Amino acid sequence: MTAHELHNMLVKKEISCADIAESVLSRINRVESKTNSYIRVEKEKMMEEAAAVDEYIGRGGRIGDFTGIPIAVKDNICTKDIITTCASRILKNYIPIYDATVIKKLKEQRYILTGKANMDEFAMGSSNENSYFGNVSNPWDTERVPGGSSGGPAASAAAGEAVCSIGSDTGGSIRQPASLCGVVGFKPTYGAVSRYGLIAFASSLDQIGPLTRDVEDCAGLLNVICGHDENDSTSINRKNPDFKSFLKDDVRNMRIGVPAELMVKEIDAEVKSTVNAALLKLEELGAKVEEISLPNLKYALSVYYIIAPSEASSNLSRFDGVRYGHRNKEAKTLREMYKKSRSEGFGDEVKRRIMIGTYCLSAGYYDAYYEKAQKVRTLIIDDFRKAFKKYDVLISPTSPTTAFKAGEKLDDPLTMYLSDICTIPVNLAGLPAVSIPVGLSPEGSLPIGLQVIGDILREDNVLKAAYNIERAVGFDKKPNIL
């Protein structure tokens, strides 16, 4: 059931928080061995928290939209006194002394933390095969990947191991796994949600957002987690709208652009046809759909894989074995300790990106790579700016393919990087975007996601379009694991 359905039952006293927690725990016990969605499950704490929330409600306490709702949290978001690892050996025993701002906001709602969800190490990956704690499997077909890096949050929401979840998105890490797992995944405008307490990968690209089973829950979670935070210098200072108020059943005269650069040859035919079918439904509802060109989007993948590794190289330099995290105990010199601690603590993909980023920032190459990438990033932003003068939203596939088999792309990083070809431009421009399920592949019965992109701080248009697509398509299929 969705969070809003459970909320209504709680208000009517048809169900207790303990009932909900027991149901989710029962599902975790039944399927977690197949999905590996979690690094850590808070089983005892869940029931204690549920009992406390039931007592609070019994005393006449206010029932918020997510009061008593079990939510999974990606393991790169700090939770006070609960181990937060980023799915890396280097942080396998790290216990934060503070909560991330999004966690504080959820606690104000009296949510129930199901556990810390598995992910690609330091959020670097598109398949959730880079975790120190093992691969996550797709609930629709456990031989396939769930997408990444928020594979654990997406799989847990799809498999009923959480009612919804919180992930992070640097180049598609919420939307791509949402597409592959058949759930809704929203990346808000950069700065709309505080990054305080999110362990950084690429600071100019990272953004926290929700993964849910429908658009209404997505809007509800945005109401909770969005807002200004003085602890985050990039946080936007504005009054939060009521995101649920944008869920209106009307897209007449909505202007929709379909970028040709996001319908390229790498997109599978079945994905294209399913997205086109959804666009036809929008036209039937009165929306105006046109193909457009954003010429500089063809450089987005190249730009991203210079900027993101460069920022990662800088951000991950703090993990040196000195203050916290894994430390080699056999090293005899400081340099040897750095080298051995980081060599042992980081996985292959993280090392690859650190080396690429360090190279791009090095003397003699900074101007040729990093500075040039930032200039092309500005051209991509300008393309979007021009498009949004004419169109309310842009629509594309979320992922070029459905879920691929585990191991299929692991030895070919360049092919793996193409998994984010449709989502990366959004992060480069700081735009809001959502992935919603719009159908299943004819042969494999695997989910296909459609991406709706909006202008900066125009979550209203994104949610309105997504809500109407959801209602028109009527996607109600469940994963095979259920």
Residue positions annotated with a catalytic role: 74, 149, 173
- Buried b / exposed e over 222-244, threshold 16 CB at 10 Å, is bbbbbbebeebeebbeeeeeebb
- By C-alpha distance, which of 380, 376, 393 is closest to 458? 393
> What's the DSSP call for residue 141?
B
Cα–Cα distances (Å) from 291 to 124, 257, 394, 395, in that order, read: 32, 6, 10, 10
CA 339 and chain centroid, separation: 32
Three-class SS of residue 435? strand
* C-alpha dihedral sign at 7, 8, 9, 12: positive
Which residues 6+ apart lie within 8 Å of 47 measured at CB?
18, 21, 22, 25
The Cα–Cα gap between 447 and 436 comes to 10
Which tokens go with 310?
A: 């460069």
The residue ranges of DSSP E strands in 93-163, in sequence order, are 112-117
Sign of CA dihedral 37, 42, 47, 51: negative
Strand intervals (E) in 365-416 = 393-397
| CA-closest candidate to residue 57, choices 43, 67, 65 | 67
Cβ neighbours, 10 Å, residue 311: 22
* Residues sharing a CB contact under 8 Å with residue 212, sequence separation 6 or more, in sequence order: 2, 3, 157, 164, 165, 183, 184, 186, 218, 221
Question: Is residue 369 classed as helix, strand or coil in its secondary structure?
Answer: helix
Asked if 278 and 242 touch (Cβ cutoff 8 Å), the reply is no
- For every residue of 39-83, DSSP letters joined together read EEE-HHHHHHHHHHHHHHHHTT----TTTT-EEEEETTB-BTTB-
Strands 112-117 and 70-74: parallel
Strand order in the sheet with 255-259: 38-41, 112-117, 70-74, 164-169, 207-212, 184-187, 433-440, 447-454, 393-397, 255-259, 288-292
